[in-house]
Structure 1
Amino acid sequence: MLVFDLIVIGTGSAGATVAQKAREAGKAVAIIDKLPFGGTCSQRGCDPKKVLVGAAEIIARSEQMIGKGVTHQPAIDWPELMTFKKTFTNPVPQRTEIKFADLGIQAFHGVASFSSANTVRVGEDELQADHIVLATGLEPKPLDIPGEELLIDSTGFLDLPQLPDKIVMVGGGYIAFEFAHIAARAGAQVTILHQGERPLEGFDADLVAVLVKAMESIGIRIMLNATVTAVSGKEDELTVAYTQEKKSHSVSTNLVVHAAGRVVNSAELGLETAGVEVGKKGVLVNEFLQSVSNSIVYACGDVADKGLPLTPLASYEGNIVIDNILNGNRQTYQDTPTPSAVYTLPTLASVGLTEEQAHAQGRKVKVTFQETSDWYSSRRINESFSAFKTLVDTETKEIVGAHLLGAGCDEVINLFTLAIKHRISAKDLGNTLFAYPTHGSDLSSMLPD
């Protein structure tokens, strides 16, 4: 039996934050992961995805300017792009392990499973600790359809040695939309099959509608109310069967990507042995991010049932957990304005309440919505699809929601986040001078007088 003060399961942003700060406080720490150390974002998610998006953005911008001073459109060399991507991802595991070793954190590779309320088994080793932190993140949701084994997930897509000619994305969320843009700009024919009535359901419906038009303009097919029922065939020659309006359809493709949502990564942990309860969104925790059913267990990041599955929140939650472990439960999880972006082209970004959420809460808001392809910032790069929607509380005059579509909006949304967090009035924000001409200088035109 190996005894520690703290065991951390998962080496992403949340788990690494907890382990490092615990060790810096002099605690004996063990960290476990069944996957290469470093977590999803840096190796199989945000970071490599944004590298690919960067190449797609060059294609999009060049295409928009053909006939406007640009004469030759570049093309993506997929193998070269993947080689470049690997310069970011390949060093992560070793770099992470070296950092843990330098700090004196004992690392274990393998599947962790509880053998009692305070012990965890990894291979032949059994570990015991006063506190155990779960930071295992999410994994693709099972589709439970015939031929499911023929699909690849987001990890597989981000490691494709060659991009096939035809791709089907199953799902209508972040992953499907972002990968669709990357693939389409690299020359693939892309079809999105989404079983819901509208894609990107957590985002503003009006802006999503404009984004859908942008996607269709470059040949991406988006099929709504389309439920995938089976995938058949062999490698590179696949058929996807789906139903739409009670009718059966099929589409032929070279590749099918699972982008239909993710679920908590806990199946192998044996949480029932430790008496740790799990809900639909993750491990059930209290305001201290402590398991509601096993007081020595904490959960942070995507595996916990608090907040959105975003990397900044994972680090935020990790800091809460380690503070509570070291100093007793004193820091509570607080909902904080958290911006999110969908890295399509154009980019979609959001923070705060949607119009639907504001009405559901009974908030009286001034809604300002406009398509902005005729604004200078869009015309300068010949961007045909851009828009915004802002929500201002009519009583407090504070901004309660901002939704942006277009180039630069993933940076401008941070200004709105700052305003919402610090309760800056719409008037004060609108009267702030920004460098001109920039996307930030458009901000005053997005707010009511």
Structure 2
Amino acid sequence: MKQHQFDLIVLGSGPAGSTVATKMVEAGKSVAMIESREFGGTCALRGCNPKKVYANAGEIIDLARRSEGKLITGSGEIKIDWRQLLEFKKQFTEPVVNNKEKSLQDSGIETFHGAAKFTGQNQISVGNTVLSANRILVATGATPTKIDISGSEHITTSDDFLEIAELPEHVVFIGGGYISMEFAHVVARCGTKVTVIERESRALSGFDADLAKQLVDYSERIGIQFRFNAALAGIDADGDGTYRLTFNGAPSIDDVGLIVHGAGRMPNIGDLGLQTANVAHDRNGIAVDKTLKSPTNDHVYAAGDCAASGVPRLTPCANEEARIVVKNLLKPGSESHADYGAIPKVAFTTPAIAAVGLSEKEATRSSDVDVRADDTSSWGSVRKTGDTVAGYKILIDKKTDQILGAHLLGPGAEETINLFAMAMKFNLTATDLKSMLFAFPTFASDVRSMV
């Protein structure tokens, strides 16, 4: 068995792992990276970037259709070519697969393919090779949660959904979170029947309830069907290539051509042998202190979706954690902590829904809050797009004038939310925002009217 010694071993080649590995090798450290799949990580290959390509396709079709009779004619002839969309998506993912590992190697990082497993406190095996290092970073990301029902083998992951060449007549998405909702909006605009099943009483639980309800109502108008409080019991394959979904206490859903997993993700750490290395972990991920180091093994750090750092599993959070890990590795004892600030999040439906900061329930629990909310579908910025669904809810502390939370729905929400995140991070007040001069007419200029 071959043995190698490094200053740092990195498990995973996504944003967190790649950033730390690159910065460390630039600092003159010897670095190994182990990847069990293609080099590049979820965001670049199976997540953020490719899904945005699909979301853009849905947005273009929607814009054409709502412009019919106002700006253009003949929009009924426009449709999404699913195969062309797949090929276009590959223009963004295939170069990553082809180039990522080479760029890492060219920078001086030694790469290994295979499943990594701890064999000691600071030792990792991959295939017939054993690697040792004084520091190990676990950045293995997340994987779809397990759906423990009969027939679960018929469920397609979101990874595989991004590779299908043809849509069937009926697609069911399990879960009402952002993954299901984003893809449902694209598929529905292809003319395919879409059903979203959710075990809770509402969709998009991470977003404002009132705005999410507006979005669900609109989603139904474009043909998406919802089944809430749905306890999925099993999936049966019919002989004609379709499936039957059965529920506890509810009618079945028949003649389904594709079932897509959108019911959340969990830390991808189950097969790493963490117990062997005395690395504390639970269902939320690898336990870390504020420096992102394991409290039970000084050799080990964790960052990104596999770390139980208490923040959303988003690429910007992984990037911030990578920055902090590098600081702490290069300057032992510096005790650098992550500064997440206000973390914005977006579901790239059409229209988009976005949020940053506290929910209305959270804010009103601890502060005297001015809740400023309105339906903005009649505002000029929205009407110019032909959109009919838009709104906001801004939560302002009455005593300090600080923005506690911002919630947006409608065109431009995915961009405008960043202004509120910046204001919250740098302690700008509602009065500060109201006094700003914005380029006009823009969606951002609406901020003054919201606060």
Amino acid at match of 1:269: L
**Helix, strand or coil: the match of 2:282?**
coil
Q: Any conservation in 1 of the 2:376–2:390 contact (CA below 8 Å)?
A: yes
Structure 1 CA distance for aligned equivalents of residues 117 and 191 of structure 2 = 44
> Which residue does the alignment assign to 1:304?
307
246-255 or 214-223: bigger deviation: 246-255
> Which residue does the alignment assign to 1:287?
290
Structure 2 CA distance for aligned equivalents of residues 172 and 272 of structure 1 = 34
> Could you list the runs of 5+ residues in structure 1 that have no partner in the other structure?
none
Amino acid at match of 1:303: C
Q: Give the drift of 1:320.
A: 0.5
Q: Give the drift of 1:334.
A: 3.5
**Helix, strand or coil: the match of 1:443?**
helix
Structure 1 CA distance for aligned equivalents of residues 97 and 48 of structure 2 = 16
1:366 to 354, 366, 370: 370
Q: Give the drift of 1:248.
A: 4.6
Structure 2 CA distance for aligned equivalents of residues 285 and 197 of structure 1 = 33
> Which residue does the alignment assign to 1:326?
330
1:60 equivalenced with 2:65 (yes/no): no
Structure 1 CA distance for aligned equivalents of residues 254 and 362 of structure 2 = 36
Number of matched residues? 444
Q: Give the drift of 1:39.
A: 0.4
**Helix, strand or coil: the match of 1:226?**
coil
Amino acid at match of 1:223: R
> Which residue does the alignment assign to 1:265?
268
Q: Any conservation in 2 of the 1:236–1:255 contact (CA below 8 Å)?
A: no
> Which residue does the alignment assign to 1:196?
200
Amino acid at match of 1:20: T
1:249 to 242, 247, 252: 252
Q: Any conservation in 2 of the 1:140–1:261 contact (CA below 8 Å)?
A: yes
Describe the superposition over 1:56-96 as per-residue Cα deviations: whole angstroms up to 9, x where unpaired.
11111111111213212210000011001000000102211
Amino acid at match of 1:158: L
2:34 to 32, 35, 39: 32
Q: Any conservation in 2 of the 1:387–1:406 contact (CA below 8 Å)?
A: yes
Judged with a 3 Å threshold, the aligned counterparts in structure 2 of structure 1 residues 249 and 164 are, in CA distance, closer, same or farther, namely closer
1:222 equivalenced with 2:223 (yes/no): no
Describe the superposition over 1:225-256 as per-residue Cα deviations: whole angstroms up to 9, x where unpaired.
0011111115741111123xx34533331000
2:14 to 12, 15, 23: 12
48-57 or 334-343: bigger deviation: 334-343
14-23 or 90-99: bigger deviation: 90-99
RMSD across aligned positions (CA): 1.1
Q: Any conservation in 2 of the 1:341–1:347 contact (CA below 8 Å)?
A: yes
Aligned pairs for 1:33-182 (under 5 A) are: 33-73=35-75, 74-182=78-186
Q: Any conservation in 2 of the 1:164–1:188 contact (CA below 8 Å)?
A: yes
**Helix, strand or coil: the match of 1:346?**
coil
Structure 2 CA distance for aligned equivalents of residues 407 and 213 of structure 1 = 16
Amino acid at match of 1:145: I
Q: Any conservation in 1 of the 2:244–2:252 contact (CA below 8 Å)?
A: no
Q: Any conservation in 2 of the 1:301–1:315 contact (CA below 8 Å)?
A: yes
Structure 2 CA distance for aligned equivalents of residues 144 and 205 of structure 1 = 28
Structure 2 CA distance for aligned equivalents of residues 343 and 27 of structure 1 = 39
> Which residue does the alignment assign to 1:337?
342
Describe the superposition over 1:20-48 as per-residue Cα deviations: whole angstroms up to 9, x where unpaired.
01100100100001010000000100000
Q: Give the drift of 1:199.
A: 1.4
Describe the superposition over 1:3-32 as per-residue Cα deviations: whole angstroms up to 9, x where unpaired.
000000000000001100110010010000
1:355 to 357, 360, 379: 360
Amino acid at match of 1:347: A
TM-score by length of 2: 0.97
TM-score by length of 1: 0.97
Amino acid at match of 1:41: C
> Which residue does the alignment assign to 1:443?
447
Describe the superposition over 1:122-168 as per-residue Cα deviations: whole angstroms up to 9, x where unpaired.
00100000000000010000011001110101001111111112100
**Helix, strand or coil: the match of 1:271?**
coil
Structure 1 CA distance for aligned equivalents of residues 385 and 148 of structure 2 = 44
Amino acid at match of 1:352: G
Amino acid at match of 2:87: T
> Which residue does the alignment assign to 1:237?
242
> Which residue does the alignment assign to 2:414?
410
Structure 2 CA distance for aligned equivalents of residues 220 and 158 of structure 1 = 19
Q: Give the drift of 1:183.
A: 0.6
Structure 2 CA distance for aligned equivalents of residues 238 and 298 of structure 1 = 43
Identity %: 43
Structure 1 CA distance for aligned equivalents of residues 250 and 101 of structure 2 = 52
**Helix, strand or coil: the match of 2:245?**
strand
> Which residue does the alignment assign to 1:211?
215
Q: Give the drift of 1:445.
A: 0.8
Structure 1 CA distance for aligned equivalents of residues 390 and 247 of structure 2 = 32
Describe the superposition over 1:310-354 as per-residue Cα deviations: whole angstroms up to 9, x where unpaired.
001101101111111111142013442111110001100111111
> Could you list the runs of 5+ residues in structure 2 that have no partner in the other structure?
none
Q: Any conservation in 2 of the 1:112–1:120 contact (CA below 8 Å)?
A: yes
**Helix, strand or coil: the match of 1:215?**
helix
1:379 equivalenced with 2:372 (yes/no): no
